């Protein structure tokens, strides 16, 4: 199932897209600082709680407490006793964002479209990781290619990045008078982040993750391998952005579906119950495919929908991650008792 947009009436309530850029930025900042910051207050790694990444020696492996992926194989081979690497928390955090601004992200049937929701996710990451010495860089995936924002610190830099995302032209993804433009390549964008993110830190990928997704679930997802390489060095948060109409079709009669990447059109009669069932089944299989690929790559997965409270979803996700991070320690104490 390719990425398609269904034409339909605009939302009745004014959304974030209808405000001026400065008003949208103020609303986003207030949402993050008043709502999220109070609930998620703590270390700057609040979006992905866990240990640091700076090597600080080795110690013997403790079964049930230590993660196997932190094994120090060199020391283990030399001593014949399993050892794990010890790490210190980083004093400064460099966060790299990869933001999908391809044409499929311009679709939305709720108060926000997918691009607006992506900007909200970037605002949450930016304001929550802001701190003395912390830096934020970004790669923005557009139909014209990658646009890079070098890592810098400060509120002015973050607001400039958000303003650039909000003001980016909406091209529709194709030129009706010429040949269709080639869609952006998520694999190349991930590889670009891997090249520039030299220091260990946090990488946040905001996308619908439909780029290059094979029709056959048995075939490998092209961007999975590159994302796995990133996750081997950095903490990776994959923010999947979806819209409800991508998951199921309403019974609204005849509609025209448009592929935002190529401009191809197809008329569909949504009164056919079997067609709606097949669409929902195919959409669910597609999302399962994305979920499984993200899990295999080692990235933390956060789902955001245009028809849901994105702030509540972020809070729920972070609290879940914190409970999971504390679970091994709690289990070890209980076993010792």
* Residue of higher predicted confidence among 15 and 24: 24
* Residue of higher predicted confidence among 272 and 104: 272
| pLDDT at position 246 over 70 | yes
* Residue of higher predicted confidence among 185 and 178: 185
Least confident of 27-31, 88-92, 252-256: 88-92
- Alpha-carbon distance 200 to 72, whole Å? 18
Give pLDDT, residue 93.
Answer: 80
Q: Predicted confidence band at 188 (pLDDT cuts at 50, 70, 90)? A: very high
| pLDDT at position 40 over 60 | no
Over residues 185-207, the mean pLDDT reads 91
DSSP string, 109-148: SSSS-HHHHHHHHHHHHHHHH--TT-EEEEEEEETTEEEE
Give pLDDT, residue 21.
Answer: 60
Over residues 62-82, the mean pLDDT reads 82
pLDDT tens-place string over residues 127-168: 877 766 788 999 998 888 888 999 998 888 988 888 888 877
Q: Predicted confidence band at 76 (pLDDT cuts at 50, 70, 90)? A: confident
Q: For residue 322, what are the CA distances in angstroms to 40, 134, 169, 319, 326?
A: 10, 21, 38, 5, 6
Domain ranges of the chain: 28-50+93-336, 54-88
Give pLDDT, residue 55.
Answer: 55
Give pLDDT, residue 154.
Answer: 86
Over residues 89-96, the mean pLDDT reads 72
Give pLDDT, residue 280.
Answer: 92
Give the tokens for residue 35: 């709502």
Rounded to the nearest integer, the mean pLDDT of the chain is: 78
Q: Which of 136, 141, 121 is nearest to 28 (CA)?
A: 121
pTM of the predicted protein model:
0.74
Give pLDDT, residue 12.
Answer: 40
Over residues 82-89, the mean pLDDT reads 71
| pLDDT at position 112 over 60 | yes
Over residues 250-264, the mean pLDDT reads 81
Q: Predicted confidence band at 50 (pLDDT cuts at 50, 70, 90)? A: very low
Q: Sort 127 into a burial class: Cβ within 10 Å, 0-12 / 13-18 / 19+.
A: buried
Q: What percent of the chain has pLDDT over 90?
A: 28
CATH number 3.30.365.10 given to 28-50+93-336: no
Taking the alpha carbons of 114, 119, 123, 125 in that order, is the dihedral positive or negative? positive
Q: Which of 98, 64, 68 is nearest to 85 (CA)?
A: 68
């Amino acid at each position: 199932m390719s990425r398609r947009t269904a034409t339909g009436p605009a939302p009745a309530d004014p959304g974030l897209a209808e405000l001026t850029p400065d008003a949208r930025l103020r609303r986003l900042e207030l949402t993050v600082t008043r709502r999220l910051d109070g609930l998620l207050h703590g270390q700057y790694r609040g979006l992905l709680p866990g240990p640091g990444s700076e090597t600080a020696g080795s110690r013997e492996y403790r079964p049930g407490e230590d993660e196997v992926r932190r094994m120090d194989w060199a020391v283990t081979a030399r001593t014949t006793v399993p050892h794990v690497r010890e790490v210190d928390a980083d004093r400064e955090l460099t966060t790299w964002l990869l933001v999908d601004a391809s044409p499929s992200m311009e679709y939305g049937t709720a108060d926000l479209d997918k691009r607006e929701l992506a900007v909200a996710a970037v605002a949450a990451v930016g304001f929550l990781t802001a701190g003395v010495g912390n830096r934020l860089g970004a790669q923005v995936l557009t139909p014209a290619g990658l646009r890079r924002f070098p890592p810098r610190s400060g509120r002015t830099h973050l607001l400039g990045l958000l303003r650039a995302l909000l003001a980016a032209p909406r091209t529709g993804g194709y030129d009706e008078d010429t040949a269709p433009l080639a869609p952006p390549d998520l694999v190349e964008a991930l590889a670009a982040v891997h090249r520039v993110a030299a220091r260990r830190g946090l990488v946040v990928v905001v996308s619908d993750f439909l780029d290059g997704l094979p029709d056959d679930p048995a075939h490998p997802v092209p961007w999975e391998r590159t994302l796995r390489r990133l996750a081997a060095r950095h903490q990776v948060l994959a923010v999947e952005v979806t819209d409800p109409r991508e998951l199921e079709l309403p019974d609204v009669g005849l509609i025209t579906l448009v592929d935002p990447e190529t401009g191809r059109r197809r008329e569909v009669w949504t009164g056919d119950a079997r067609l709606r069932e097949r669409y929902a089944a195919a959409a669910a299989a597609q999302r399962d495919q994305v979920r499984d690929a993200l899990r295999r790559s080692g990235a933390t997965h956060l789902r955001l929908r245009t028809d849901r409270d994105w702030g509540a979803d972020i809070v729920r996700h972070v609290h879940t991650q914190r409970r999971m991070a504390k679970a091994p320690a709690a289990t070890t104490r209980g076993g010792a008792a």
